[in-house]
């Protein structure tokens, strides 16, 4: 009898260990598929892992990210909520839930999620940047600038935050501050087409047409997607810098 009990106990341990190992395998495979852009396969693996171990918050967060990539906002939000239910300190779940709400233009809910992530991790620069974008969408430019600045304070090489803050400065005619931010982006990332694009318009607004033309051409050299937007400005500047010569009257 004693041997039977021990045998059953050992089988139970082996069985439980096998489930845990298999769940981890599915979770790791899901992460691998997601990183390769195989979103559907990632969801399939996360789901299989969750079926075996349903109380793993990170699995719900990762599956939620996959759903978010498919713009399946309802399922994404449900997964982020489940992750938070299982682990109320899961800043990743709050952050991505904020992105989900932001993409749906549910801005107040997005702000609440990003704020919660920041409360848990005050140096979470990505959350400051995304909350700043939401404030910008709400036309709360002062709050947006504050958040972009906080993002930069927590990551001095955060290119997106400099670009975003510079653009809001540009919209508010704080052109010297805008230029400083776009210059910083180009210093950190010389191949950043958006920075040349933005700096070019800042120069254009200052009527520094030669500088604007150089930046517009550089932006196009890096990324041709700006062609339709920039071509009319380039043509206009060329006419300003090279006006047609008047014909000499005989």
Each residue's pLDDT tens digit, 61-77 = 999 999 999 999 999 99
Helical spans, DSSP H, in 36-72: 39-52, 57-69
3 phi and psi angles, rounded to 5 deg: -65, -35
**pLDDT the model gives residue 217:** 97
Distances (CA, A) of 27 to 53, 63, 99, 128: 10, 9, 22, 29
Structure tokens at 217: 């051409």
**pLDDT the model gives residue 247:** 60
Spatial separation of the C-alpha atoms in residues 27 and 162, rounded to whole Å: 35
Give which of 183, 189, 107, 104 is closest to 144, Cα–Cα.
107
Contact 172, 181 (CB under 8 A): no
**pLDDT the model gives residue 245:** 75
**pLDDT the model gives residue 174:** 98
Give which of 60, 132, 123, 122 is closest to 96, Cα–Cα.
60
Q: Which residues contact 133 (CB under 8 A, 6 or more apart)?
A: 102, 144, 164
Mark the ranges of the chain whose per-residue pLDDT is less than 50.
1-19
Kindly report whether the global pTM for this prediction surpasses the value 0.85: yes
**pLDDT the model gives residue 111:** 98
Q: Report how far apart the first and last C-alpha atoms of the chain are (Å, whole number).
A: 124
Spatial separation of the C-alpha atoms in residues 180 and 69, rounded to whole Å: 34
């Amino acid at each position: 009898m004693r041997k039977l009990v021990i045998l059953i106990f050992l089988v139970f341990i082996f069985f439980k260990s096998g489930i845990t190992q298999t769940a981890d395998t599915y979770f790791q495979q899901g992460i691998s598929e997601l990183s390769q852009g195989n979103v559907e396969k990632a969801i399939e693996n996360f789901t299989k892992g969750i079926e075996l171990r349903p109380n793993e918050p990170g699995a719900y967060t990762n599956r939620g990210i996959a759903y978010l990539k498919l713009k399946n906002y309802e399922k994404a939000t449900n997964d982020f909520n489940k992750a938070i239910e299982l682990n109320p300190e899961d800043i990743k779940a709050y952050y991505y839930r904020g992105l989900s709400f932001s993409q749906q233009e549910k801005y107040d809910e997005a702000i609440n999620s990003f704020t919660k992530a920041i409360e848990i991790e005050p140096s979470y620069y990505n959350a400051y940047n995304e909350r700043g974008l939401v404030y910008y969408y709400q036309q709360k430019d002062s709050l947006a600038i504050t958040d972009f600045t906080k993002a930069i304070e927590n990551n001095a090489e955060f290119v997106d935050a400099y670009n975003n803050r510079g653009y809001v400065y540009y919209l508010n005619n704080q052109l010297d501050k805008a230029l400083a931010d776009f210059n910083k982006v180009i210093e950190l990332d010389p191949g950043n087409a958006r920075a040349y694009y933005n700096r070019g318009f800042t120069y254009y607004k200052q009527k520094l047409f030669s500088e604007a033309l150089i930046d517009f051409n550089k932006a196009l050299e890096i990324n041709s997607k700006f062609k339709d937007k920039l071509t009319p400005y380039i043509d206009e500047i060329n006419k300003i810098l090279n006006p047609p010569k008047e014909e000499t009257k005989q």
